[in-house]
Amino acid sequence: MSAVNDLVRYMPITYLTMTDIGLLLGSVGYDGKPNLMTIGWGLVGVIWYKPIFMVAVRISRYTYKLMEESGEFTVNVPSKEMSEACRICGTISGRDADKFEKTGLKWRRGDFVKAPVVEGCPIVYECKVLYKDVVNLQMLPGNMVETIYPKRDAHILYYGEILKIHGEPKSPP
Ligand SMILES: Cc1cc2nc3c(=O)[nH]c(=O)nc-3n(C[C@H](O)[C@H](O)[C@H](O)COP(=O)(O)O)c2cc1C
């Protein structure tokens, strides 16, 4: 089975959750302490013949520092019961608090990455950064820059090769 056929079976729940309560981006830096950040933007697909999860992280996030230190991440697809945890992980920074303590979420390290795999998530992607690029604000329509980047804190687009997917694949609807 091709990589894209395999991915398609995880995509519906991943995309539906991302546009509903968000996904939990897991990262870890030099100090080994894991962090979670809620994300609403991301893409799953095949590039360079490889299965890829692309996430967009603003340079102002603590997660940005950790991603730069490790070059790896996890994308955890939360269950509906984790809605409050998603709200917390999307409003406070790992600079100021331990989000695992705040949310009660439990974690373990990935099989292929040190970033956290959140227990109880129906799907978890383990990813290693293959490519990254900063959003060039000069290439975006001016009205979008003013709306999305008033502070000019651009996103870094991280293209992670998916090394492992935890969870049961579902047939596409
Ligand atoms: C539903 C939702 C979606 C979000 N999506 C993103 C995103 O895709 N990229 C991003 O940089 N921040 C996003 N955020 C904001 C971060 O989750 C938030 O700033 C977080 O506190 C950053 O945590 P950190 O400083 O520990 O990295 C989102 C927040 C919410 C609530």
CB distance 55 to 25 below 8 Å: yes
54 pocket-lining for ligand 1 (C-beta < 6 Å): no
Distance CA 26, CA 149 (A): 24
157 pocket-lining for ligand 1 (C-beta < 6 Å): no
Q: Mind listing the pLDDT tens digit of every residue in the chain (173 residues)?
A: 467 778 999 999 999 999 999 999 999 999 999 999 999 999 999 999 999 999 999 999 999 999 999 999 999 999 999 999 999 999 999 999 999 999 999 999 999 999 999 999 999 999 999 999 999 999 999 999 999 999 999 999 999 999 999 998 776 55
97 pocket-lining for ligand 1 (C-beta < 6 Å): no
> According to the model, what pLDDT value does residue 170 have?
74
Q: Is residue 171 part of a domain?
A: no
12 pocket-lining for ligand 1 (C-beta < 6 Å): no
Which CATH number belongs to the domain containing residue 11 in this structure? 2.30.110.10
* Ligand 1 centroid, distance to 40 Cα (angstroms): 8
Q: What are the tokens at 59?
A: 């340079």
* Ligand 1 centroid, distance to 57 Cα (angstroms): 8
Q: Is residue 172 part of a domain?
A: no
Structural domain containing residue 26: 3-166
Q: Tally the domains of the chain.
A: 1
92 pocket-lining for ligand 1 (C-beta < 6 Å): yes
Q: Is residue 41 part of a domain?
A: yes
Q: Is residue 173 part of a domain?
A: no
